[in-house]
Structure 1
Amino acid sequence: MSTGGLITITAGDTPPLTTGREAAREAAERELAKPIYHQDEPGLFQRALDRFWEWVGELFDRAAGATPGGGLGLLAIALVVVLALAALWWRLGTPRRTAHSSGTLFDEGPRSAADHRAAADAHAAAGRWNEAVRDRMRALVRSLEERTLLDPRPGRTADEAAAEAARSLPAHADALRAAARTFDDVTYGGRTADPAAYAALRTLDLTLDRTKPALPEPR
């Protein structure tokens, strides 16, 4: 009750509760830490993704500001670059490995000429012309090795085999070079063989198998 501006507390009155500042802060932190207050917040991945796109936007804005004409100028530069790349692609075509002669002719253990011929014919019968061409060229070279017209040498390339074989079979030098080129184009150049390419190699193989080597000229 109040008397003359003074407040007196009777026995039935309850004094107000007071909470310290530090205790109030801790209580608020505990309350706000409850999952119910955070269930609608974005996850860590989403926040990182949002931050990334903000960075991209800032980067684009800075680039646009430094480019004459602003964003329109930046778009024009990007369009020129795209057109230049398209023209280069059209001029050069799809990138492919250039045919070369650094690859070895035989990439597996020793097999006889007859083995390679049988494999080549099996590939041809199944329409696998790339494999047929490769095995027929290997059969041709292995046959020359078996006849001692070529020395067996690991790591020999198709071009090297053709050049060496042409010394004892000069009448077929052009056909040997063409066969080596076909092998390289199919094996390393990304080309696709066809029945005609295989038929030419098969004919050359069988022809050389029946051809006697040229005698060395007397010194």
Structure 2
Amino acid sequence: MPVSGEDVPVTIPRGPAREAAEDELSKGIYHRDDPGLLARALNWLWEKIAHLMDTASGVTPGGGVGLVTIIIVVVLLAVGLRLRLGRLRGQSTAGTKLFADVPRTAAEHRAAAEEHAHHGRWSEAVQERMRAIVRSLEERALLDPRPGRTADEAAAEAGRPLPDHAARLAHAARTFDDVTYGDHQGTPDAYAALCELDTEVQRAKPRLAESGAGAAGGSRP
């Protein structure tokens, strides 16, 4: 029986057929419900995390339960350490300078401290009063003006010409550090103690002989 041209099956080579199929499937109508880039990235991330957790649970005593227990213990230790040490510091206390870049006189620091205290900003009041004490010592030439000096360094240096006030100066420096770099808040009592120290230091007579002897011995920081 003769076969007409319309009944002859159409044969397409494999390569062009594949290309035609890919072109057809690349049309937007087939991808309207596909997840977006962010969704695909999150799916990939969760798959990696799940694989990591499965691997870790396989080598952890107790399997998945043991792994979860370890994670909880680590989190609790981290929280406990955070509470014990207080706020993490971006810089070391010993390496942070006492004064800002703009110089101010001791009287200006005292005025700023009184303004903060008047409004109940005790942390700022404590900071400014400590700066007033150190600046006053610099103005009296008991401390050499030195950019970058820290509160601890200033207290240690001032304790040589003012040995009777050395311990209180060191305590004042620690108070400044706690308020400035730790989680401690300034208090009216802490501010009052600094005000009293400031007044006493202004009236104190330095022991210049001991200070000079220390400098001659090469102990100057």
TM-score normalized by the length of structure 2:
0.73
In 1: Cα distance, 2:31 partner to 2:197 partner = 80
Preserved CA contact (<8 Å) 1:120 1:131: yes
1:204 aligns with 2:194: no
Structure holding more helix per residue: 2
Distance 1:21 1:118, change over 3 A: same
Preserved CA contact (<8 Å) 2:116 2:122: yes
Q: Of the two, which has the highest radius of gyration?
A: 1
Preserved CA contact (<8 Å) 2:162 2:206: yes
Preserved CA contact (<8 Å) 1:144 1:150: yes
1:111 aligns with 2:101: no
1:133 aligns with 2:126: yes
Q: What's the counterpart of residue 213 of structure 1? A: 206
TM-score normalized by the length of structure 1:
0.74
SS at match of 2:152: helix
Q: 1:179 Cα shift? A: 1.2
Q: Percent of counterpart pairs with the same letter?
A: 50
Q: CA RMSD in A?
A: 3.4
The within-5 A match list for 1:1-150 is 7=1, 15-16=6-7, 18-22=9-13, 25=17, 31-67=24-60, 73-87=63-77, 89-90=79-80, 93-96=83-86, 97=88, 100-150=93-143
In 2: Cα distance, 1:151 partner to 1:27 partner = 85
Unaligned runs of 5+ in 2: 214-221
Q: 1:28 Cα shift? A: 5.7
Preserved CA contact (<8 Å) 1:100 1:189: no
What do the CA deviations read for 1:116-147 (whole angstroms, capped 9, x no partner)? 11111111112111111111111111112212
Q: 1:74 Cα shift? A: 2.6
Preserved CA contact (<8 Å) 1:101 1:184: no
Unaligned runs of 5+ in 1: 1-6
1:187 aligns with 2:180: yes
Q: 1:101 Cα shift? A: 3.2
In 2: Cα distance, 1:123 partner to 1:115 partner = 12
Preserved CA contact (<8 Å) 2:94 2:150: yes
In 1: Cα distance, 2:166 partner to 2:9 partner = 109
- The alignment of Structure 1 onto Structure 2 pairs a total of residues equal to 206
In 2: Cα distance, 1:201 partner to 1:147 partner = 18
